[in-house]
Amino acid sequence: MPDSTIQAAAFTSLGTAREQVNLPVELFDGTINMPVMHRVVTAYLANQREGNASTKTRGLVIGGNQKPWRQKGTGRARAGSTRSPLWPGGGTVFGPRPRSYDQQVPKKMRALARKSALNARAREDSIFIIDRFAYDAPRTKVLAGLLERLGVAGRKVLILTDGAKPNVYLSGRNMQRVEILPYSDVSTYHLLWSDVVLIEATALGQSLPPVAETVAAPAPRRAPKAEAEAKPVKKAAAKKAAKAPAKKAATKTTAKKAAKKKTTSAKAKKPAPKKKGK
């Protein structure tokens, strides 16, 4: 007989550890039904298919109405149309056609599969309870810090909130291997896809009292005035330093050109030697 009470680790929204929480007995009773989970996941994946693959038979290919050559006397194989499947550019035999891949699964079977997936994650100690996701604005940095403190960064994380919370969704929308869904919309496939499941306490009908945070919330990103004023000064100094060697090189080149001009003018001023008479 499975244990009647299953406990899970609890944390605050910033990652501060709390006392362990007893999970609801009516949902987390240790039941794991593998065949039902397989049936539901297979149906879920089949329902994701659009079924738009389509090919043309010989009747749908344009052209081919005229017989290529006469029936007898040519020595070639008889042919009635150039759109036959035997010809290049002809129709396709038994090719795919648009169809529906939908599979219907009873509601009780879906509920049992979802319950089994939750129990499987609880048995692996992969369910963490978060007291409350109260984001007044999207904060990807805060959510990433939470996953870092829990030690699940880089793993497949499923976050289940109490109802739709756009700020929490926008905080993790751009994070790899992070999926955020309302608790009521989660499916067996998402639970089995994930390595770790973070569930908001109120989604399970539990309310946890607030506790003191051991880590302060990160301050909003804002450049101080001193740094903002120092940046243009540094840029101006860098520009001057870059211009100094350029000026030196320019003076050297001009000096070389002037020296060359002097030598050429001196050579030109020398009188030509007189020819001696015979």
Task: Return the higher-pLDDT residue of 100 and 265.
Answer: 100
Sheet holding 196-200, edge to edge: 21-22, 7-11, 127-130, 196-200, 157-161, 178-182
The C-alpha R_g of the chain, in whole angstroms, comes to 39
pTM above 0.75, yes or no: no
Position 266 pLDDT exceeds 60: no
Report d(CA 18, CA 8) in Å as an integer.
Answer: 10
Q: What domains are defined for the chain?
A: 1-47+100-216 (3.40.1370.10)
Q: Is the pLDDT of residue 258 over 70?
A: no
Q: How buried is residue 115: exposed, middle or buried, by Cβ count under 10 Å (0-12/13-18/19+)?
A: buried
Q: Please give the Cα distance from 22 to 8 (Å, whole number).
A: 7
Both structure tokens of 73: 């006397």
Residue 237: what pLDDT?
65
Query: How many CB atoms are located within 10 Å of the residue 46 CB?
Result: 13
How far apart are the C-alpha atoms of 48 and 65, rounded to whole Å?
A: 40
How confident is the model at residue 187, as a pLDDT?
A: 96
* Residues 162/48, Cβ–Cβ less than 8 Å: no
Q: Is 100 within 8 Å of 89 (Cβ atoms)?
A: no
Q: Is 147 helix (H, G, I), strand (E, B) or coil?
A: helix
Tokens of 248: 């030196």
At 71-124, the pLDDT tens digits run 999 999 999 999 999 999 999 999 999 999 999 999 999 999 999 999 999 999
In this prediction, residues 166-172 reach a mean pLDDT of 96
Contacts of 24 (CB under 8 A, 6+ apart): 204, 205, 206
Per-residue pLDDT tens digits for 223-246: 555 555 555 666 666 666 666 665
Of 210 and 183, the structure prediction assigns the larger pLDDT to: 183
272 phi, psi to nearest 5 deg: -70, 145
CA–CA gap between residue 142 and residue 15 (Å, rounded): 10
- Please state, for a pLDDT cut of 70, what percent of the chain lies above it: 76
Question: What does pLDDT average to over the chain?
Answer: 86
Whether the CB-CB separation of 118 and 27 falls below 8 Å is answered with yes
Q: Which residue has the tokens 């450049």?
A: 223
Dihedral sign computed on CA atoms, order 258, 259, 262, 264: negative
Residue 277 has pLDDT above 70, yes or no: no
Where residue 255 falls among pLDDT bands split at 50, 70, 90?
low
